[in-house]
Amino acid sequence: MAARILIGLISVAAFAESSLGQIEPVDLFEDPAESAIERLVAQERDMLFNNATLRNVAEFLDFNGIPTQIDVRALDDVGLTPDVPVTYQQRAVRLSDGLHLLLRQLDLTWTIRHRHLVITTPEESENQLITKIYDVRNLVEPPVLMMDASGYYSAVPSIVWDCDFDTLIVMITSSIAPDSWDEMGGAGSIEWYMTRRMRVLVISQTYEVQQQVDALLRQLGKFGGRDPLPPMPAHSLPVLTQAPTALTMLPASMGVSTNSGIRSSQLRMTGR
């Protein structure tokens, strides 16, 4: 029995070290080529277009190393062509910001799809949602307090299955483009999936919304990756005398039930 408890404590320590070391939730679907485009559009350039055309804008982006396509079919649906005139002049502007402001004049948008920057309509962008998987274990796992030899408590990630996906999902869907999610009649969806080794969010949304979600999760992750509780005197909390869970002592082959496809409204209804 002592040996099994010792193994469990070692597993807890190893899990704590590996999980706390992961500061930022990351997109597990990340494509290197598309990431390169994102880095390029984050650079600053002079964007000086006076009575130019949308085709000239695409050529400018190509010249700056960004493979660009104009969604001719989508533009045709709204009565536009690649030769529609545009005027936008700004020096030292981030390409992503300048492109957004330029295209807004024509009620157009841009996305990254199939390793290209695609100039298209908002309607078509909603029809071509992008799916991303985010590792959010640091944001949904509650800490477990364990007392060390000096009588102080330290926080380690919980390895029990009590993860709060609901709060995180509500925060995302209420603060970022609320009308774009399926619960409000939009096209976007957000689901959680959990196994013994994963706590992830699977999000299907437009590129623009995905960028906002990514930024929010990374900012939250900077706090979630830190030790969430300061050391506390031993007399202020009850003492944990053994490993906080027996899951670490289960055989690796033993199955554990999972949940997937559950949205925030369902979580609230089921109380899970």
**Does the pLDDT of residue 188 top 70, yes or no?**
yes
- Asked whether the beta carbons of 161 and 146 are under 8 A apart, the reply is no
Q: Which of 28, 33, 30, 230 is nearest to 117 (CA)?
A: 33
Q: How far is residue 136 from each of residues 2, 115, 195, 197, 224, measured CA to CA in Å?
A: 34, 25, 13, 12, 9
Pick 252 or 157 by higher pLDDT. 157
Interval 202-228: pLDDT, tens: 999 999 999 999 999 998 888 765 554
Ramachandran class of 170: left when φ > 0, alpha when ψ lies in -120 to 50, beta otherwise:
alpha
- Check: CB of residue 141 under 8 Å from CB of residue 12: no
pLDDT band at 196 (very low <50, low <70, confident <90, very high): confident
Report helix, strand or coil for 73: helix
Residue ranges in 179-270 assigned as alpha helix (H):
207-224, 264-270
How would you class 203 by CB atoms within 10 Å of its CB: exposed for 0-12, middle for 13-18, buried for 19 or more?
A: buried
Q: How far apart are CA 7 and CA 120, in angstroms?
A: 56
Would you state the structure tokens that stand for residue 121, as one six-digit string? 């309509």
The phi, psi pair for 34, rounded to 5°, reads -70, -35
Give the span between the Cα atoms of 191 and 204, in whole angstroms.
9
CA distance 108 to 214: 22
Is domain 33-127 annotated with CATH 3.90.190.20?
A: no
Q: If pLDDT is split at 50, 70 and 90, which confidence band does 20 have?
A: very low
Say what the pTM is: 0.66
Find the mean pLDDT for residues 6-10: 43
pLDDT digits (tens, 9 = 90+) for 77-113: 999 999 999 999 999 999 999 999 999 999 999 999 9
What's 162's DSSP letter?
Answer: -
CA atoms within 13 A on the CB side of 83: 0
Residue 80, Ramachandran bin (φ over 0: left; ψ between -120 and 50: alpha; else beta)? beta
Q: Where along the chain do its domains lie?
A: 33-127, 130-267
Q: What are the tokens at 255? A: 């199955």
